[in-house]
Amino acid sequence: MYRQGQWQSGERASKWCRGARRVVTAVVVVMLWASAGAVRVKAQQKKTVMPWMDQSLSPDQRADLVLAQMTEAEKLQLVHGTGWGVLRPDTPVPAGDNGGAGFVPGIPRLGIPDVNLADSAVGVRMAALHGRYSTLLPSTLGAASSWDADAAYLYGAVIGRELRAQGYNMSIGGGVDLMREPRNGRNFEYAGEDPLLAGTMTGNLIGGLQAQRVMGDIKHYALNDQETGRNVLNVVLDKKSMRESDLLAFQIAIAIAHPAAVMCSYNKINGDFACENDYALNRVLKKDFGFRGWVLSDWEGTHSTVKAALSGLDQEQPGSKYFGEALREAIAAGQVPAARLNDMAHRILRSMFAVGVIDDPPVAAVMDPFQGRIDAQHIEEESIVLLRNAGGLLPLRPGIKSIALIGSHADVGVLSGGGSAQVDPPGGNVADPKRGNGEWGKPVYFPSSPLQEIRKKAPEASVTYADGGKVEEAVATAKGADVAIVFVNQYMSEGRDAATLSLPDHQDVLVSAVVAANPNTIVVLETGGPVSMPWHNTVEGILAAWYPGIGGAQAIANILFGDINPSGKLAATFPARDADLPHPGVTGFDPAKATPGTPDGASDITTPFDVDYTEGVRFGYKWFDSEHKEPLYPFGFGLSYTTFAYSNLQVDSGRCAVSFIVTNTGDRAGTEIAEVYVELPESAGENFKRLAGWQRVELGGGQSRNLTVMLDPLTMSIFDTAKDSFILPKGSYRVLAGPSSRETPLVGTLDE
Ligand code: BGC
């Protein structure tokens, strides 16, 4: 099992962190050795005549052996896809293509299987060619709010086992672009704003997936932080900031999971497209991170042959415009060394061996939808964040007599995110009278009915529903009920960003009208990410349920009625208003073209523009802290139905370890996520804190536990561009521990 902190950066640690680093290294080595042993046993049982099928050899040795037998044409065949396949009508679908987003034919004479790649950010997209069920998980941003590496690992395992059962041997999920832009249409596919949290959660997700013998990918490398103009925009960002934030998230995830592949993004970074960016690919990813898998382009994100090949791109997707015949010619002309083609093919083959897709290929099977649903519900129960519980109205008492349920098709289902992360709903879109699989860019609701689940919890109560389309109707339904529960939504999708943080479709008006009619109002958010809530302090309770997944309704009902005590904490700051952000509007977004308050198609902009991140690393909580702005709800924040107290901080500078006691001061059992932040010595010139570690702890009523949190040296380091490496600044580090980034009752010092 992968866990928080079990990764190695390859960077220098100072003497006081060395003890901790050695422990971490030993654990990782033991884990890897143990799992390699299991594979070896199987290998010995498998008789083969091909020497590269000898599982006692390393993936690199095995790849070299096959490579030596391959013709140039066979190598070239591995470094590009076969076209858009099922993604575009009238495009041929080759034999062997399982119907996913990508396909690379294998080399049967050498025992190399086809690679079938499936989008699977929050569940398997499109299932297999002939349409099979797959589990819709909560959004990854939601899952990141669990701060639970085991939940992330389970998340990946669900996707891995379903991909495998459907005949896929590669996932193209694993999104970890940090939330610089809270209005980004794809935030629900990512893991929030902090590099340590996002990298740890995504790394564990990919670890869980690859343990199922399915190749994992991490994307979109890098800085694909908005959809507006994603194909033409140029991110301007200094190296120090990108290494300490956006690229650090990738670094951590890659070190945890060793994914088979990295998908480079559509945008440019400091002048070069990400898929032909020597600095990002060769310098940082392959050299500094020691990444040994392959780099594949986002779909039509390749822009050249020679430049891309020399800059580190290993595979063009989904077609062969640049890495097919054109690459063969470039090699013949001496513009690309033949060794580079060998390196590309080697990276692909070694990943196939390393993950096990050659030794243990997928076997079509009926996946278990029931287990998938249980797992999705469990993850959602850990992901929901209780943002407000003003008068203690929550949890709802089972004896409640009347409940008014309002909005967001809560009578029939829960919302899902769109784009290439869209999972097909079983039985069709429940919010659409015609059902069907839904169209790109149109909201799809899954059959998990909050109304039904709430009725089950309060069988004696009268539970009425109003769709929220007409405010007067909603008000009439809410009036006189013991409690009004308003589900509000913000549909988000690849290819477009939200115009604002405001809820679309006049839902702010709806909530305010309901509150005026019934002071006992609770709001459940089904959103892609942070939204502003001008009414927030007028309602009794707020739950952030994200896109809740197929077990969403049960999870929400369990939290509303207290069968589950909420424990999630925000993986991203909820700002009060757009104006408080580093960029008050999405850069390049033309409001004239947008429908106010709704997401608008924007990725098809063709005129290049810069997105200048002058804020450097200061986004999310680092921005709000350093600008002394009050967020609506801070990073790391989340309530429980019990309360926790923090005491007795001890800092062990030598081990880079922080200990303290957390006490459950209520009488209900609950889980607390205890967070530890550091402020760097003055010489670093920073005026914000950084998350450096955390621990989830389950405590019965009145129970205390002494926790030890190992701090992560890299999150306490600065990237020295002159030395081109991370260094730990000398001096005193302020250590802060507590329940959120804005509430850190324990303060200590860690000295070098
Ligand atoms: C998306 C990728 C996705 C690919 C294949 C692209 O538009 O950016 O995330 O994996 O399509 O569907």
- What is the SS3 string spanning 208-256? HHHCCCCECEEEEECCCCCCCCCCCCEEECCHHHHHHCHHHHHHHHHHH
Encode burial over 317-346: b for 16+ CB neighbours within 10 A, e otherwise.
Answer: bbbbebbbebbbebbeeeebeeebbbbbbb
Q: How far is the CA of 302 from the centre of ligand 1 (A)?
A: 13
Lowest-pLDDT choice from 172-176, 352-356, 366-370: 366-370
Counting ligand 1 atoms within 8 A of each CB, the residue from 299, 315, 317 with the most, and so the one to mutate, is 299
Q: What local confidence, expressed as pLDDT, does residue 29 receive?
A: 34
Q: Is a pLDDT exceeding 60 seen at residue 663?
A: yes
Q: How far apart are CA 141 and CA 135, in angstroms?
A: 17
- C-alpha triplet 15, 724, 191: angle, nearest 5°: 85
pLDDT tens per residue across span 66-112:
999 999 999 999 999 999 988 888 888 899 999 999 999 999 999 99
State the pLDDT confidence band at 129, using cuts at 50, 70 and 90: low
State the pLDDT confidence band at 25, using cuts at 50, 70 and 90: very low
* 3 state SS of 517: helix
Ligand 1 close to Cβ of residue 126 (< 6 A): no
Q: How far is the CA of 128 from the centre of ligand 1 (A)?
A: 17
Contacts 24+ apart (CB under 8 A), 682-689: 682/731, 683/729, 683/730, 683/731, 684/718, 684/729, 686/626, 687/625, 687/626, 688/618, 688/621, 688/622, 688/623, 688/625, 688/626, 689/621, 689/622, 689/625, 689/734, 689/736, 689/741, 689/744
Instruction: Identify residue 711 by its one-letter amino acid code.
Output: L
Q: How far apart are CA 513 and CA 466, in angstroms?
A: 13
pLDDT tens per residue across span 681-740:
999 999 999 999 999 999 999 999 999 999 999 999 999 999 999 999 999 999 999 999
Average pLDDT in the chain: 92
Q: What local confidence, expressed as pLDDT, does residue 435 receive?
A: 84
Q: Which CATH number fits domain 642-751: 3.40.190.10, 3.90.1300.10, 2.60.40.10, 1.20.1730.10?
A: 2.60.40.10
Q: Which residues pair with 104 in a beta bridge?
A: 115
Q: Using H for helix, E for strand and C for coil, what is the string for 384-399?
A: CEEEEECCCCCCCCCC
Contacts 24+ apart (CB under 8 A), 456-463: 456/557, 457/396, 457/398, 457/557, 457/560, 457/561, 457/563, 458/396, 458/398, 458/400, 458/403, 458/561, 460/399, 460/401, 461/400, 461/401, 461/402, 461/403, 462/401, 462/402, 462/403, 463/402, 463/403, 463/405
Ligand 1 close to Cβ of residue 712 (< 6 A): no
According to DSSP, residue 743 is labeled B
The dihedral over CA atoms of 625, 628, 629, 635, expressed in degrees to the nearest 10, equals 20
Residue nearest to ligand 1 atom 4, measured at CA: 299
Ligand 1 close to Cβ of residue 624 (< 6 A): no
pLDDT tens per residue across span 134-181:
999 999 999 999 999 999 999 999 999 999 999 999 999 999 999 999
Q: How far is the CA of 420 from the centre of ligand 1 (A)?
A: 6
Ligand 1 close to Cβ of residue 261 (< 6 A): no
Q: What local confidence, expressed as pLDDT, does residue 86 receive?
A: 86
Ligand 1 close to Cβ of residue 380 (< 6 A): no
Q: Which CATH number fits domain 59-355: 3.40.30.10, 3.20.20.300, 3.30.110.70, 3.40.50.720?
A: 3.20.20.300
Ligand 1 close to Cβ of residue 423 (< 6 A): no
Q: What local confidence, expressed as pLDDT, does residue 10 receive?
A: 34
Read off φ and ψ for residue 500, nearest 5 degrees: -145, 175
- For residues 560 and 542, is the Cβ–Cβ distance under 8 A? no
Q: How far apart are CA 385 and CA 142, in angstroms?
A: 9
Which residue carries 């990276």 as its tokens? 347
Average pLDDT over residues 237-256: 98
Q: Is a pLDDT exceeding 50 seen at residue 658?
A: yes
Q: What local confidence, expressed as pLDDT, does residue 3 receive?
A: 45
Average pLDDT over residues 427-441: 86
Q: How far is the CA of 101 from the centre of ligand 1 (A)?
A: 8
Identify the H or E element spanning 89.
Answer: none
Q: What local confidence, expressed as pLDDT, does residue 31 receive?
A: 36
CA distances to 27, 351, 414 from 291, in Å: 20, 11, 38
Q: How far is the CA of 423 from the centre of ligand 1 (A)?
A: 14
Ligand 1: which atom is nearest the Cα of residue 230? Answer: 8
Ligand 1 close to Cβ of residue 299 (< 6 A): yes
Q: How far is the CA of 290 from the centre of ligand 1 (A)?
A: 25
Total length of the chain? 752
Identify the H or E element spanning 160.
Answer: helix 149-165
State the pLDDT confidence band at 589, using cuts at 50, 70 and 90: confident
Q: Is a pLDDT exceeding 70 seen at residue 362?
A: yes
Q: How far is the CA of 299 from the centre of ligand 1 (A)?
A: 6
Instruction: Identify residue 688 by its one-letter amino acid code.
Output: F
Q: Is a pLDDT exceeding 80 seen at residue 436?
A: no
Counting ligand 1 atoms within 8 A of each CB, the residue from 172, 224, 496 with the most, and so the one to mutate, is 172
Average pLDDT over residues 659-682: 98
Ligand 1: which atom is nearest the Cα of residue 102? Answer: 5
Residue nearest to ligand 1 atom 2, measured at CA: 298
Counting ligand 1 atoms within 8 A of each CB, the residue from 494, 496, 497, 604 with the most, and so the one to mutate, is 494
Q: How far is the CA of 736 from the centre of ligand 1 (A)?
A: 39
Q: How far apart are CA 275 and CA 476, in angstroms?
A: 55
Ligand 1: which atom is nearest the Cα of residue 175? Answer: 9
Sheet holding 217-221, edge to edge: 217-221, 261-264, 294-297
Q: How far is the CA of 482 from the centre of ligand 1 (A)?
A: 46
Residue nearest to ligand 1 atom 6, measured at CA: 299
Ligand 1 close to Cβ of residue 298 (< 6 A): yes
Q: Percentages helix, strand, coil for the chain, rounded to the nearest 5?
A: 30, 20, 50
Ligand 1: which atom is nearest the Cα of residue 189? Answer: 9
Q: How far is the CA of 293 from the centre of ligand 1 (A)?
A: 19
Q: How far is the CA of 725 from the centre of ligand 1 (A)?
A: 32
Q: How far is the CA of 351 from the centre of ligand 1 (A)?
A: 21
Ligand 1 close to Cβ of residue 119 (< 6 A): yes
Ligand 1 close to Cβ of residue 420 (< 6 A): yes
Both tokens of 653, joined, read 């500078």
Lowest-pLDDT choice from 106-115, 123-132, 280-289, 701-710: 123-132
Q: Where are the domains of the chain?
A: 59-355, 374-560, 642-751
Counting ligand 1 atoms within 8 A of each CB, the residue from 264, 296, 420, 497 with the most, and so the one to mutate, is 420
Counting ligand 1 atoms within 8 A of each CB, the residue from 84, 91, 115, 119 with the most, and so the one to mutate, is 119
Ligand 1 close to Cβ of residue 101 (< 6 A): yes
Cis upstream peptide for 645 (omega within 30°): no
Average pLDDT over residues 195-203: 98
Average pLDDT over residues 513-517: 98
Instruction: Identify residue 111 by its one-letter amino acid code.
Output: G
Q: How far is the CA of 294 from the centre of ligand 1 (A)?
A: 17
Q: What local confidence, expressed as pLDDT, does residue 398 receive?
A: 79
Ligand 1: which atom is nearest the Cα of residue 219? Answer: 9
Closest CA to 174 of 443, 163, 166: 163
Query: 374-560 falls under which CATH superfamily?
Result: Glycoside hydrolase family 3 C-terminal domain (3.40.50.1700)
Q: What local confidence, expressed as pLDDT, does residue 38 receive?
A: 42
Both tokens of 397, joined, read 């008492």
Residue nearest to ligand 1 atom 5, measured at CA: 101
Q: How far apart are CA 596 and CA 287, in angstroms?
A: 45
- For residues 265 and 222, is the Cβ–Cβ distance under 8 A? yes
Q: What local confidence, expressed as pLDDT, does residue 396 receive?
A: 98
Q: What local confidence, expressed as pLDDT, does residue 603 receive?
A: 63
Q: Using H for helix, E for strand and C for coil, what is the string for 26-53?
A: HHHHHHHHHHHHHHHHHHHHCCCCCHHH
Instruction: Identify residue 322 by its one-letter amino acid code.
Output: Y
Q: How far is the CA of 231 from the centre of ligand 1 (A)?
A: 12
Residue nearest to ligand 1 atom 11, measured at CA: 299
Alpha helices by DSSP H, listed for 601-743, are 621-626
Ligand 1 close to Cβ of residue 172 (< 6 A): yes
